[in-house]
Amino acid sequence: MNLITLALLPTAIAQQTPKTATPAAAKSPAPQQLPAVQQMLSRGQLKEAEAQLNALAQQHPEPAGTERLLGTIHYQRNEFAAADAAFERAIAQDPDDLQAVQMRGTTLYRMGKGAEAIPFLERSNSAIGAANSDSTYVLALCYMDVRRYDDARRIFAKQYKLTANSAGAYLFLARMLLRRNYPVEAAQMAQKALVLDPRLPLAHFLLGQIALAKSEQNEAITQFEAERKINPMDGEVYERLGDSYMHASRLEEAQQALDCAVLLEPNATGPYILLGQVLLKREDAATALNYLVRAEKMDPGNHLTHLLLGQAYRAAGRKDDATREYKTAEAIQSSPGDHD
């Protein structure tokens, strides 16, 4: 889930069957034009739809649903302040318009106002949450941002059919917290998961990732070695373990771990690149070239691979090849499309 996914929410919501209006809203029934406007929105014809909606907004009383669709247009344009105002007007006109309630909560989240978004998302989620997993996900993100971790864990557990107090639910929350850049809290939740299930796969792996990011090499090695005992067929575990060994200058162990990673994940470039680095440190440029050339063929746009190739060619006395690779690495790194 990312913001691109969230940007699709208004279209999906606009296409849902409108909720029956309250008596107050029944005085201004949705006109026949609204289904056509919804079709315009689904086709991305925002300008044409906005023109029709602005005309409808001038009527007295304003037709039900007009403000919600105007808010949808502003949302799709990332005009969140205007979208929020439109959804607020839609809710004032019809407090039972749960689509507007849901979209106002999502909009407030996109504006960085997670705490304000929660009441709207909770209300809409209780009624239509099962039909819109995106909205449920946004509510869980808001809970994490305001440190309501138990509430977030319950939502994730329900979505993924886990028992709310299980080790798996705590580990899932830990992964989401790490994705939200809350490493301390993520580590705490992973530790809780291991208390509940000491042999839970990927819990030690997550703790190792956190330690590696903090340059705590010994702790990272401890965690990845523990993960290897539980999960010995996961190539990424050996890759991260090899990376940790390399940073701890345990080069022979690093090479052994990365050899295992290559065997388990022969189509992943990471182990080949790391092997190239380790072998360069071990002053074995010829063997390093074998792995780095393979990595370059798999992903020619990785600037780090070309940089390491330059170092390997230079160590092997191939100055022209080294110059070529350094220039390629520089060109890729300075390119707007660099994907290292």
Q: Where are the domains of the chain?
A: 1-14+34-146, 287-340
Q: Which CATH architecture has domain 1-14+34-146?
A: Alpha Horseshoe (1.25)
Hey, what CATH class is 287-340 in? mainly alpha
pTM: 0.80
- pLDDT per residue rounded down to tens, the chain (340 residues): 444 344 444 444 444 444 444 444 444 555 567 788 888 888 888 888 888 888 888 888 888 888 999 999 999 999 999 999 999 999 999 999 999 999 999 999 999 999 999 999 999 888 765 556 788 999 999 999 999 999 999 999 998 999 999 999 999 999 999 999 999 999 999 999 999 999 999 999 999 999 999 999 999 999 999 999 999 999 999 999 999 999 999 999 999 999 999 999 999 999 999 999 999 999 999 999 999 999 999 999 999 999 999 999 999 999 999 999 999 999 998 887 544 4
Exposed/middle/buried for residue 218 (C-beta within 10 Å: 0-12, 13-18, 19+): exposed
DSSP string, 123-185: HHHHHHGGG-HHHHHHHHHHHHHTT-HHHHHHHHHHHTT--TTSHHHHHHHHHHHHHTT-HHH
* Identical fold, 1-14+34-146 and 287-340: yes
